Amino acid sequence: GSGLTRLSTLAVARREVIRTPYGEPSSALVFGQIGGRDVVFLARHGQGHTIPPHRVNYRANLWALKKCGVASILAVASVGAVGGEYAVGDLVLPHQLIDYTTGRENTFFDGGDREVVHVDFTHPYTAQLRQRCLAAARSAGIPVHNAGVYAAVSGPRLETAAEIDRLGRDGATMVGMTGMPEAALARELGVAYVTIAVVVNHAAGRGDSALAVSVEGIVAVLETAMVKVRSLIDQVVKEAP
């Protein structure tokens, strides 16, 4: 996600461009190990962070990861705080989401000669993987919020204050641009999936974003928060069964 274009503790073995029926993924897949465990890293926005959220080829990304044998995905995402539960710089493991995105290829089962499939999405994040993340956070001494409702919006522009008011009324506690259809596609493929959300700002009309959102401030928060994110990922991988 934004701010995470590499894993500094990943002992890289190789990079590979995976061809998929849905086009090319956002970047080459990076194969390596963390603490002796096999890990695959994919930069969702491209290595140079040049792909905006509405242009990410989510189907190609997820299909490529599944093809390479990935069984669990830790998806890092920057979010704005809609409610007052979070401080800037906090990490959150959302437990629910609301999808407001439009115009995205959001399923592998889109007709043609394939059977229609309706996957259950009652709980969009994999419970067992969320518990592993929480346990790893405790082990590493990293504070993490164990609840949140992620509102997925199209972007790339930031939201209006009125839109954030609406999201809050709908029950959302955070807002981001990449959480969907990524989570649903992972569910369709049978891949465990969680989001590690980084609160990078108060959403429009909230807190210090009451008049305007500071993009420069977001960048500064990301630089600091990604240290915690990398440590959490390392711990989750090391404690994997």
Cα separation of 123 and 178, whole Å?
Answer: 18
Q: Given a cut of 70, is residue 104 above it in pLDDT?
A: yes
CATH number at residue 119: 3.40.50.1580
Q: Assess if residue 62 is contained within a domain.
A: no
- Compare 205 and 116 and report the one with higher pLDDT: 205
**Beta-bridge partner residues of 176:** 152
- What is the domain extent for residue 220? 72-238
Q: Given a cut of 80, is residue 2 above it in pLDDT?
A: no
Q: Assess if residue 12 is contained within a domain.
A: no
Q: Given a cut of 80, is residue 207 above it in pLDDT?
A: yes
83-99: per-residue pLDDT in tens? 999 999 999 999 999 99
**For residue 11, what pLDDT band results from cuts at 50, 70 and 90?**
confident
Question: 97 and 149 in contact (C-beta within 8 Å)?
Answer: yes
Mean pLDDT (whole number) for 115-134: 95
* pLDDT number for residue 116: 81
Q: Assess if residue 118 is contained within a domain.
A: yes
21-49: per-residue pLDDT in tens? 999 999 999 999 998 899 999 999 998 88
Cα separation of 188 and 172, whole Å?
Answer: 24
Mean pLDDT (whole number) for 162-171: 98
40 three-state secondary structure: strand
DSSP string, 121-176: -SS-S-HHHHHHHHHHHHHHT---BS--EEEE---SSPPPHHHHHHHHHHT-SEEE
What's the pTM value of the predicted model, to 2 decimals?
A: 0.93
Q: Assess if residue 196 is contained within a domain.
A: yes
Q: Assess if residue 138 is contained within a domain.
A: yes
* CB neighbourhood size of 84 (10 A): 11
* pLDDT number for residue 102: 97
Q: Given a cut of 80, is residue 8 above it in pLDDT?
A: no
Q: Given a cut of 60, is residue 72 above it in pLDDT?
A: yes
* pLDDT number for residue 134: 98
Q: Assess if residue 43 is contained within a domain.
A: no
Mean pLDDT (whole number) for 140-161: 97
One-letter amino acid identity for 36? G
* pLDDT number for residue 6: 58
* pLDDT number for residue 55: 96
**For residue 65, what pLDDT band results from cuts at 50, 70 and 90?**
very high
Q: Assess if residue 67 is contained within a domain.
A: no
Cα separation of 193 and 212, whole Å?
Answer: 33
Total domains present in the chain: 1
Say which residues have a Cβ less than 8 Å from residue 140's Cβ, sequence separation at least 6: 231, 232, 234, 235
Q: Assess if residue 128 is contained within a domain.
A: yes
* pLDDT number for residue 145: 98
The verdict on whether omega for the bond into residue 25 sits within 30 degrees of 0, i.e. cis, is no
